[in-house]
Structure 1
């Protein structure tokens, strides 16, 4: 076909049919399937569509299509997906519930690149998401994506880069050091209670920290559906490729302490890469929660969690443990284990980017709890 210009009136943003989504998954598989075969990748995507986070319209497949007239069949140019998420917005001491969307699987076939199509699609998707799946009484707060092509492209289309840093610890089999707090494994059955406690604490912290800044602070809610989605991706890959000895299911993280109000815990997920990839296989700490962060003793408890994560990473065939955008307390704990740990500021991969729909400029917005659990 004769390729249209990126501003052609015959290009339209649409919700994909099941057939169009399958065709797009076949096309984007070389970039997004990782260690999986094409057939396994397609099964994983089908499996992930039937989770609490994504089913019943939780995931929307968007396509930019070319349709010269109503009588012509449309042709998919490029596509992406969005996942509806719960959000919180705080300003001047007031806390509000809202809707956010995470954008993922942005893909334009090589034959269509360099023509402005992806830019048009992502800009239109950003506008559409402002009112997408927002019910009466709800507020569309913001949308996020995690760029693997640097900071410039998405910023040109109003998706601004936010802090994207991490620390890394090597995977290693090490016993808990004498004097470290004891930890226990977290299982799927722990999610509901801990997520409830986490959200309650998050709400309190956001309302308190926003009382006098005049800025808006936003966060994605760390609910059970989000962690179940991460766990399902991991379980599928390991079950398909048998990358680890024994089952990793129901080994979701670790917790130190038993008394509510004084506990520290973290969840994790594993990401295996191909041997030829430059990126290491990584155990990502998706969320680290400190119920009493002002207590200096929590540094030792966090160190115990990180030590357990290192051992879990080694047993899982990982190269390292990553913790995104850690607090000073978390960095201090990591340096108990590896004194030379330094913050890595990412410039190309997994750039946390946010499109703001609220009042004022995005420059007056803080993204709190910008951790791996928000990635999709």
Structure 2
């Protein structure tokens, strides 16, 4: 990933269309500063503007912390975690007018083959911000970019031979081709990324079944017993990333189908922390927000859960000024599917529902969302099952899709999309 340049190029959306570029004449490269900037300019109106930034400059300035190379979420075992990629004409690899782009983030993972009792450490990648500017859509660029990405992430001997009809293979940057699996969260349904094939015909990222639970909750009439409770702030999250990773390694053997290879992504380093930063840089974020709760010890371990607050998409002040709509902080000012809510990232067994409600009350929201049950369904009741706006999808390398299970698929493995 390039360093953020101090002097930014034009903020205008890049609309210049290349003359028709055949897919076999394109390649995938690590983004230059100019190419990274083009991607930010083009994504901003779609994914970020509704969050209430004053303008593009405000958005970039607030998000500088994301790109700090010394941050835990930007380095894993000495390697840069976040990389940005651009699909470009092979004849003009340095062009700022990229055809489309994406981000990858390296994540430590583990997998457990059938019959094994000890998880094996491995490399995985998350993929985010797959975006084609409007001027370049309709040419198959994004699908082809993702087909090429398999050949950058995965060892060559785990993939079909690179098809001759795709032209020349991309140049492989140093340190790549080490993935056992990769994941992404599709905002365009279940089929598109499966068609981003490995070779001509082998499916790409296959959708994972997911139940999304949402609860509307009321502030409790009486305050719960807070004795021994520890609210987690951003600087306290690294220790609990390590603890969660320890428990995932230990508990993986008891998860899922023992006849399949079970795999998981670990939150250490930086996964809980980066979501705290995602919230903090949004205009209107509460400076006193917490991101988790640790409860008193039970049977030698402290139950805990981590969370983030996902704000609803807010309208700009000028859009409300001359209208008859309600003020911004009313429910009517939010998209129905994107109301402000507390999103549970990770929870150990033994966390009572009233503690989760207490967290939502503390953070000033009355909706809670979780991807897993965590044993709360009976106690909480009334969960609304919703279609997930970001469908988890998994690609495995060197193993057949039907022979694997993804465990601990939680909100914290998301990329930095919005």
- TM-score tier by shorter-chain length is 0.7 to 0.9
1:128 corresponding residue in structure 2:
152
Instruction: Write out aligned runs for 1:27-46 (5 A).
Output: 27-33=42-48, 34-35=50-51, 36=53, 37-46=55-64
Q: Residue by residue, what CA displacement relative to the aligned partner does 1:219-278 show, whole Å, maximum 9, x if unpaired?
A: 1102141111111111111xxx2354xx234x1111222357343211111121223533
1:341 aligns with 2:365: no
1:325 aligns with 2:375: no
Match of 1:90 among 103, 112, 121: 112
2:40 corresponding residue in structure 1:
25
1:59 aligns with 2:82: yes
- Cα RMSD, aligned residues only: 2.8
1:163 corresponding residue in structure 2:
209
1:308 aligns with 2:358: yes
Aligned CA distance change for structure 1 residues 174 and 134 (closer, same or farther; 3 Å):
farther
For the 8 Å contact 1:168–1:320, the answer to whether it is kept is yes
1:206 aligns with 2:230: no
Residue 110 of structure 1: how far off its partner (Å): 1.0
CA distance in 1, matches of 2:145, 2:242: 36
Aligned CA distance change for structure 1 residues 46 and 134 (closer, same or farther; 3 Å):
same
Residue 205 of structure 1: how far off its partner (Å): 1.6
Q: What's the secondary structure of 1:340's corresponding residue?
A: coil
TM-score w.r.t. length of structure 2: 0.75
Aligned CA distance change for structure 1 residues 73 and 287 (closer, same or farther; 3 Å):
closer
Aligned CA distance change for structure 1 residues 130 and 181 (closer, same or farther; 3 Å):
farther
2:19 corresponding residue in structure 1:
3
1:150 corresponding residue in structure 2:
189
Residue 133 of structure 1: how far off its partner (Å): 8.1
Residue 160 of structure 1: how far off its partner (Å): 0.7
Gaps of 5+ in 1: 291-297
> What is the number of residues matched between the two proteins?
346
1:356 corresponding residue in structure 2:
396
CA distance in 2, matches of 1:276, 1:6: 42
CA distance in 1, matches of 2:339, 2:413: 20
For the 8 Å contact 1:77–1:109, the answer to whether it is kept is yes
For the 8 Å contact 1:217–1:368, the answer to whether it is kept is yes
TM-score w.r.t. length of structure 1: 0.83
CA distance in 2, matches of 1:260, 1:106: 45
For the 8 Å contact 1:99–1:140, the answer to whether it is kept is yes
Q: What's the secondary structure of 1:261's corresponding residue?
A: coil
CA distance in 2, matches of 1:181, 1:369: 29
For the 8 Å contact 2:107–2:123, the answer to whether it is kept is yes
For the 8 Å contact 2:217–2:357, the answer to whether it is kept is no
CA distance in 2, matches of 1:73, 1:184: 51
More strand by share: 1
For the 8 Å contact 2:181–2:396, the answer to whether it is kept is yes
Match of 1:100 among 124, 147, 157: 124
For the 8 Å contact 2:238–2:273, the answer to whether it is kept is no
Aligned CA distance change for structure 1 residues 225 and 133 (closer, same or farther; 3 Å):
farther
Residue 31 of structure 1: how far off its partner (Å): 1.4
Q: Residue by residue, what CA displacement relative to the aligned partner does 1:107-166 show, whole Å, maximum 9, x if unpaired?
A: 101111121011001121133111588969x95221111111111111111111112222
Q: Which deviates more, 222-231 or 95-104?
A: 222-231
CA distance in 2, matches of 1:289, 1:135: 34
CA distance in 2, matches of 1:193, 1:104: 26
Residue 195 of structure 1: how far off its partner (Å): 2.9
CA distance in 1, matches of 2:224, 2:306: 23
For the 8 Å contact 1:217–1:367, the answer to whether it is kept is yes
